[in-house]
Structure 1
């Protein structure tokens, strides 16, 4: 399958140093760092003026204090980055990707981003929609004929309104699956076709977050492109955006070499039969690579503005509240009009958070491979950059 010529041209060239791993790198945030060079700015007219040095210095002080209070005594074991207008104004790297081999985490260390993978999977689907290879309203069984639920559409998978059961639950039933065998995406589809498990609710009736939706979307990508999900993601997203340290985990190939996953006490998490399913998880990336992706979402050349609008709007208003879900992105919507977009992730000991302050062109990214809930607190930094009705403890960002 051929994609437009512009896709194969790296739109984002890194001006970041990619030097050797040094322990001092965890304190690398000492200057403004360009994530895109001048030649690559043309498709991304995103307030590309220089940031005021005073603005950068003020934000750094607040962010450094937040980091030290959130992860004191080098306790993060991961990576943290904040950028404005595509420029890194703060980043930290601490800990080890593998305690047994003493490999340290640095700016080029890919960490399992868990469910932040859904943001990337959704984007690949939307790019196929953009090329008119499929439609958001297409029934899933139009693309995957053995899919047994006739009412479910591509959009319902993307916004978690399908009602599908969670594969992690039915694959745990020994009458359904032998846990000594690795489960794959095609196995999930085959099990759905064979057993026709009952839906949790009628399609499009309500929101129900479910990993099965994105495991099936990965198969949709494969069917439409004629390529394995790993290859399709590389060609549609990772390579065009210069995400050189991002890949889709392959159990047999990467189980011993990829960043490992640890419990809070540094005990290694063992892999299990669910570790080779992709689409809902299993992308490994770095904050710098995710920033390249974040910047691309502002460009019509990457994804047309109509589809961007479709992605960044809520679809579930059955219950009052600020929480909602778009197409592969969570959001907080306040009655006052402010919106905050984000996605968190958890798998084994890996926790992740990608926060997008779209109005302010700010990205906040935190990844950790040692279990901690503190990763999820970074969204509270939003008031540092714009008007958001979020209570930020001043003690966390001021002396």
Structure 2
């Protein structure tokens, strides 16, 4: 080998040796992320898609579970999901675009554009930062009682606010309080100032320039055919691998249908790749100027001068974005959650990292799991996740019977490092069994709950309630008497005892 070739060979070896640790580290990170999500799936805690990228390049992407159980269609890279409250970031971008076009100012009073609005001091900035003082969808409680089939839209917001004396829960700017109502008002504002329907504005001014070709707005009143869209599901509490479509679950009807046509706080549908395109369009300045984004990513300030802090993990709230300062960089993000939807969109501005997690089943712990993935991505360790002994016990009870469940419960109860046991969760799951007609199993749960938490008046009250329903009068009386012995002022037990003793039951 001549000297020139030797130099080239040596340079190549140095380059390869430098790249090898980086590749090994990337592979190790991918394996750690995969292990986390596979473990969540194994415990029936995730059903959806994940995409994780650095500097716009995907480093981990995987799909899990079913998009459509009845049709046996699996989630895949093309699957689209309702984003729930991640939609608020698009509403924020729309409002800030109108600000850049000088069609509004953030400190403008909302009443300037809607003179019929009853609260003159609320500003656009306060609506964006959830500091307006407006309550949430409780404003529709009265009208819902009169007509439970009505589907509410943006045009119903201001009349409902005017009709509800409770509508302003706090002085504007006094405190942070999450308000979907406020984001519906912002969608109304976008429509008025742009002259476009809200869904058309997002399509023309955000989805299209960002290259989000599979994204759109849909609602019960704006049906969009999409063969790739994931069906929204609830899991059966006592059989977590079994899913029910949310439109078949009575308790989900209000969320999914009655309130599902209020655009602004929710209703955007997208997939992982489109959200990555959105992320990159924000970095590239295709949607907003850098100084506007900086404003959106700065914590809002209350009247007191304090930064607007949420109750979640030390996050602050800016203009449509949650803000978290970590040792790995400044994170701006948003979570989403509704019936059959749990989502997370996490962006590390300092490292150009993007984490997108979309689930079409109501797995409520997923936001924390998504944040764990962020820390794993950055080489940090995360605490071992404690799981619910109550949920595991109920599942074994329903599948294998009382003896197997009791044995499992005793094992889990002693393993406090891996499991937690919650009285209220046991109670809730017992009632879930009762509601679906599994009365013997429900009674077993309530009985066990009294043994686990003998100092709680509520365990005896709930057991008595189900015994009463089952026609076991004497046993029910004993339970209600025990409940009253622990809490003599509890009116529920007094009423139940009176009914049982009078024979009116």
TM-score if structure 2 supplies the norm length? 0.63
Which residue among 382, 386, 392 is the counterpart of 2:382? 392
1:288 and 2:266 are equivalent in the alignment: no
- Aligned equivalents of 1:205, 1:386: Cα separation in 2: 36
TM-score if structure 1 supplies the norm length? 0.79
Which residue among 347, 350, 371 is the counterpart of 1:379? 371
Q: Name the structure 2 match of 1:345.
A: 336
Instruction: Provide, for residues 256-294 of structure 1, a one-character-per-residue CA deviation record: whole Å limited to 9, x for no partner.
Output: 865321112301112431111111011111111111111
Instruction: Provide, for residues 73-103 of structure 1, a one-character-per-residue CA deviation record: whole Å limited to 9, x for no partner.
Output: 7863211110000011111112222222233
- Other structure's SS at 2:265 match: coil
Q: 8 Å contact 1:171–1:177 — kept in the other structure?
A: no
Report which stretch shifted further, 101-110 or 347-356: 101-110
Q: Name the structure 2 match of 1:161.
A: 131
- Aligned equivalents of 2:166, 2:136: Cα separation in 1: 10
Q: 1:115 to 1:301 in 2, by over 3 A?
A: closer
Which residue among 48, 64, 84 is the counterpart of 1:94? 64
Q: 1:284 to 1:301 in 2, by over 3 A?
A: closer
Q: Name the structure 2 match of 1:38.
A: none
Q: 8 Å contact 1:94–1:104 — kept in the other structure?
A: yes
Shift of 1:375: 2.2
- Aligned equivalents of 1:99, 1:175: Cα separation in 2: 32
Q: 1:250 to 1:382 in 2, by over 3 A?
A: closer
Q: 1:185 to 1:391 in 2, by over 3 A?
A: farther
- Other structure's SS at 1:359 match: coil
Which residue among 216, 233, 256 is the counterpart of 1:262? 233
Q: Which has the larger radius of gyration?
A: 2
Q: What do you get for the CA RMSD once the two structures are aligned?
A: 2.7
Shift of 1:137: 1.1
Higher relative contact order (CA 8 A, sep 6+): 1
- Other structure's SS at 2:162 match: helix
Q: 8 Å contact 2:329–2:348 — kept in the other structure?
A: no
- Other structure's SS at 2:209 match: coil
- Aligned equivalents of 1:357, 1:241: Cα separation in 2: 19
Q: Name the structure 2 match of 1:57.
A: 27
1:303 and 2:303 are equivalent in the alignment: no
1:235 and 2:204 are equivalent in the alignment: yes
Q: 8 Å contact 2:308–2:318 — kept in the other structure?
A: no
- Aligned equivalents of 2:190, 2:221: Cα separation in 1: 22
Q: Which runs of 5+ in 1 are unaligned?
A: 1-50
Instruction: Provide, for residues 165-193 of structure 1, a one-character-per-residue CA deviation record: whole Å limited to 9, x for no partner.
Output: 212x1212247762211100111122223
- Equivalent positions of 1:1-399 (< 5 A) are 53-72=23-42, 76-167=46-137, 169-174=138-143, 178-195=147-164, 197-254=166-223, 258-265=229-236, 266-270=243-247, 271-316=256-301, 317=306, 322-333=314-325, 338-376=329-367, 377-386=369-378, 392-393=382-383
Q: Name the structure 2 match of 1:43.
A: none
- Aligned equivalents of 2:94, 2:308: Cα separation in 1: 30
Q: Please state which structure has a larger fraction of its residues in helix.
A: 2
Q: Name the structure 2 match of 1:41.
A: none
- Aligned equivalents of 1:337, 1:61: Cα separation in 2: 20
For this pair of structures, how many residues does the alignment match?
342
Instruction: Provide, for residues 131-156 of structure 1, a one-character-per-residue CA deviation record: whole Å limited to 9, x for no partner.
Output: 22211111111222222211111110
